[in-house]
């Protein structure tokens, strides 16, 4: 009988302790959307109904909702909690031990979180005599978005162009530091009768599409489908963080002037050099206009001009001066070399990493 009474008393004491611990609740207070700093993940409210002070520790797991992959985890120091409410911020729980599970996360204490959709899950653990007991959990979804989306630049909205090969330019979203892997998708489509430009972008098959580029410009290729002077075209740019949608520009439109010379418009259209050798062939009628992205900050690059229909004969080789970043280069051939009409040539460059970028073209006199 005595042993039974002791067991009952021990059970009641344990039940009372667990009940007291269960009175500690936690609520995460992360803004639902906007530009967020990593420190804002630790805006948390704790409420304790326990008469006795307790020590707790918080573990946070940040998950990318789009990929269901963990981004980072963080564990706080021991935090003393007395009865009542306590508002926590990053400084109150520091030092925080982080584990970074992706390469694109800013690792500075007040770094910005990358653009995307996330869920932050928090677990509150008791420390001390019952160390490791889970006493509260909370999860909260939120979205990190740029302050301003990308903006279209040229050609201007509703403009009339005098070239079959327009160059499209745009401005980046702000702030760009919220992107771990900022790239852009460009869409160009025909606007049919009765359609709005936005409907045309959503419904019609693109006339021209670049699925991913880090440049702030794109040139309509000479090898692309010929644009029609009697049609209206709509274009837009989508900013992405990796493969995830981040923000989109407005939709702008343009038309072509009815009396453009097709041959003249082929000149002065820039072609982006590519690493891979694909089936696209540009048409060159004068000098070669191409763009090259200098990602390795070289001062010069090696170039070669080859005649593909003459056993890959090297017509010319040498060095080209380049600047860091995007370069728009005009390579003079009209006066220097006697290229044959309707023959295929290759222009290629090599950087200090021995990476080769190239373009294939047909020369027309």
**What CATH number should be reported for the domain holding residue 277?**
2.60.40
CA distance 105 to 114: 7
Sign (positive/negative) of CA torsion 202, 205, 208, 210?
positive
CA distance 357 to 218: 16
**193 within some domain:** yes
Contact 316, 338 (CB under 8 A): no
The residue ranges of DSSP E strands in 175-264, in sequence order, are 182-191, 208-213, 217-219, 232-241, 244-248, 252-256
Q: Residue 278's pLDDT band (boundaries 50, 70, 90)? A: low
Give the pLDDT score at 18.
44
Task: Give the residues across from 313 on adjacent strands.
Answer: 307
**85 within some domain:** yes
Dihedral Cα 289, 294, 297, 298, nearest 10 deg: -50
CATH number at 65 reads 2.60.40.10
**310 within some domain:** yes
Domain boundary among 84, 116, 144: 144
pLDDT above 90: percentage of residues in the chain: 45
* pLDDT higher than 90, residue 121: yes
**2 within some domain:** no
Q: Are residues 55 and 159 in the same domain?
A: no
Residues 6+ apart with CB under 8 A from 51: 20, 83
CA distance 98 to 96: 6
**16 within some domain:** no
Domain boundary among 261, 287, 317: 261
Can you give the residue range of the structural domain that contains 32? 21-144
Residue among 166, 250, 172, 178 nearest 214 (CA):
172
Give the pLDDT score at 9.
42
Q: Quickly tell me which residue has 């049609």 as its tokens.
A: 231
Domain boundary among 235, 261, 287: 261
CA distance 268 to 251: 26
CA distance 222 to 237: 21
The model's pLDDT over 187-223, given as tens digits with 9 standing for 90+, comes to 999 999 999 999 999 999 999 999 999 888 888 887 6
Q: How many domains does the chain have?
A: 3
Contact 249, 170 (CB under 8 A): yes
Contact 287, 335 (CB under 8 A): no
**151 within some domain:** yes
Q: Are residues 211 and 96 in the same domain?
A: no
State which of 68-77, 120-129, 239-248, 277-286 shows the largest mean pLDDT: 68-77
Sign (positive/negative) of CA torsion 317, 320, 325, 326?
negative
**3 within some domain:** no
**14 within some domain:** no
Q: How many CB atoms lie within 10 A of CB 55?
A: 15
């Amino acid at each position: 009988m005595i042993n039974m009474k002791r067991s009952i008393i021990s059970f009641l004491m344990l039940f009372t302790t667990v009940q007291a611990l269960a009175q500690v609740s936690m609520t995460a207070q992360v803004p639902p959307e906007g530009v967020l700093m990593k420190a804002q993940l630790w805006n948390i409210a704790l409420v304790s109904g326990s008469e006795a002070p307790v020590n707790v520790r918080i573990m946070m797991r940040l998950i990318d909702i789009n990929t269901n992959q963990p981004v980072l985890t963080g564990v706080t120091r021991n935090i003393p909690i007395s009865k009542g409410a306590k508002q926590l911020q990053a400084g109150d729980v520091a030092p925080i031990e982080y584990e970074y599970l992706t390469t694109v996360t800013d690792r500075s204490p007040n770094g910005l979180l990358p653009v995307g959709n996330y869920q932050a899950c928090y677990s509150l653990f008791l420390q001390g005599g019952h160390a490791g007991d889970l006493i509260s959990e909370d999860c909260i979804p939120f979205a990190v978005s740029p302050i301003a989306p990308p903006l279209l630049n040229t050609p201007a909205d509703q403009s009339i162009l005098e070239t079959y090969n327009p160059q499209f330019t745009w401005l980046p979203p702000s702030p760009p530091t919220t992107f771990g892997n900022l790239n852009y998708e460009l869409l160009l489509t025909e606007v049919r009768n009765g359609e709005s430009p936005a409907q045309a972008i959503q419904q019609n098959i693109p006339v021209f599409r670049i699925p991913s580029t880090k440049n702030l410009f794109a040139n309509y290729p000479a090898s692309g489908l010929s644009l029609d002077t009697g049609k209206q075209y709509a274009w837009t740019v989508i900013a992405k963080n990796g493969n995830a949608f981040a923000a989109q520009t407005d939709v702008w439109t343009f038309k072509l002037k009815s009396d453009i010379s097709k041959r003249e418009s082929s000149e002065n259209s820039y072609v982006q050099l590519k690493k891979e050798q694909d089936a696209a062939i540009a048409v060159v009628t004068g000098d070669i206009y191409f763009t090259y992205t200098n990602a390795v900050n070289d001062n010069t690059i090696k170039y070669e001009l080859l005649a593909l229909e003459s056993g890959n004969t090297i017509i010319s080789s040498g060095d080209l001066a380049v600047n860091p970043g995007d370069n728009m280069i005009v390579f003079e051939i009209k006066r220097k070399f006697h290229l044959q009409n309707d023959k295929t040539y290759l222009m290629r460059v090599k950087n200090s990493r021995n990476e080769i970028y190239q373009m294939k073209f047909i020369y027309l006199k």
